[in-house]
Amino acid sequence: MAERLALIAKYTLGLAMAGIIYAMFLVVPQYVGLGEAGRIIIVHVPTAWVTSAAFALSAIYSIVYLRTRSPLHDASAVSAAEVGMLFCIFATVTGAIFAEVVWGTFWNWDPRETTILVLLLIYAAYFALRSSIDDGARRRRLSAVYNIFACVTMPFLLFVAPRVADSTLHPNCAFLQGSKCEGVSLDLNGAKISQLGDVVVELKAVERVGELTRAVVEVRMPGLTEYADLAPTMDSEGKAADRPEFPGQSFRMVLIEADPQAGTARVNMQAPGTGLLSNQRTLWVFLASNVTFGLLALWIFRIRATILQVSARLQTTEAL
């Protein structure tokens, strides 16, 4: 009975993943400024989440191994680390494809790219360490300790370092230097000058142009090297329409709020792809994708763990 349920679960997972692929291409809409490239979020972000979960699981098994000294727990730790590595490579490759489409280069040493590469190297060293020690018990013990330290670096490299970096093009309003999720408020009759990071912005006008509301904002780039008048617009429902690019940069200015009568406007800077999940269809497909990729990783982990545990049992039997 249990085996039949497991088989049904596997076929359901297969169908769910096929559904995610279908939805990624035909249900998720195109995103302004990204075109078809925005769809990659459905694969890229869940694989990155699965990476962190798998590495955390691996560290937990390493801790359990150090307490029990059972080779079976060591086998589980290795399996989880392998799954994490596999999905980390997948996240890196899909991110590089996204970067090529949106930023014009596969690799530009963006803080997010650099930290995920460091993480890959840390776990590559884990596997190198395992393969360099012949004595089984010593290999398991040392690699378990290393694995715990490797996992400690993981949250810092995946979640903290890219956020404290000066500037990154990785989509998220909070990631750009000086940008704030709520943006900066400008007032023609009051504080009309402000700063978005090291870019000075000055509100020149707020006006209605047909169905759109337009703000004219002068931007002065760092070192006052370049001046430009940008005119972001928003429609009558409050959705951003035109998002002009900052001079010489890949990120854009977006108009969040505007009141032509009061002469106020709120603007922010956005990297390409920011706000991708504000679309409901994209959001639901994205959530389903997270669950499906998580289950897929769990399945791969169980298969690999079974193989390594059998191998560990055989080695134990031979040693006896």
Partner 1 sequence: MQVVLDAGVAIYIAMSVALVVWLGVFIYLLRIDAQAKELKRLVLAAHQESTPATPRATVEHRTPHAQ
CB 50 within 8 A of CB 294: yes
CB of 41 to partner 1, least distance (A): 15
**Nearest Cα residue to 179 out of 250, 248, 110, 271:** 271
Residue placing its CB nearer to partner 1 in the complex, 3 or 134: 3
Rounded alpha-carbon distances, angstroms, from residue 240 to 111, 260, 320: 28, 15, 70
CB 197 within 8 A of CB 183: no
Among 26, 174, 224, 319, binds partner 1 (CB under 8 A): 26
The string of DSSP codes covering 299-313 is HHHHHHHHHHHHHHH
Q: Does 8 bind partner 1 (CB under 8 A)?
A: no
Residue placing its CB nearer to partner 1 in the complex, 14 or 178: 14
Query: How many chain residues touch partner 1 (CB under 8 A)?
Result: 21
CB-side neighbour CA atoms (13 Å) of 98 = 25
Rounded alpha-carbon distances, angstroms, from residue 111 to 148, 159, 163, 194, 281: 24, 11, 9, 26, 30
Among 14, 155, 178, 190, binds partner 1 (CB under 8 A): 14
Residue placing its CB nearer to partner 1 in the complex, 179 or 282: 282
Q: Does 291 bind partner 1 (CB under 8 A)?
A: no
CB of 307 to partner 1, least distance (A): 5
Q: Does 300 bind partner 1 (CB under 8 A)?
A: yes
Residue placing its CB nearer to partner 1 in the complex, 236 or 315: 315
* Cα 262 from Cα 257, distance rounded (Å): 12
Binding mask 301-320 for partner 1 (x = CB under 8 A): -xx--xx-xx--xx--x---
The count of other CB atoms within 10 Å of the CB of residue 44 is: 19
Pair of tokens at residue 306 = 């079974």
Residue placing its CB nearer to partner 1 in the complex, 79 or 274: 79
Binding mask 31-70 for partner 1 (x = CB under 8 A): -----x----------------------------------
**Nearest Cα residue to 139 out of 126, 149, 152, 123:** 126
Q: Does 281 bind partner 1 (CB under 8 A)?
A: no
Among 8, 9, 22, 193, binds partner 1 (CB under 8 A): 22
Binding site for partner 1 (CB under 8 A): 10, 14, 17-18, 21-22, 24-26, 36, 299-300, 302-303, 306-307, 309-310, 313-314, 317
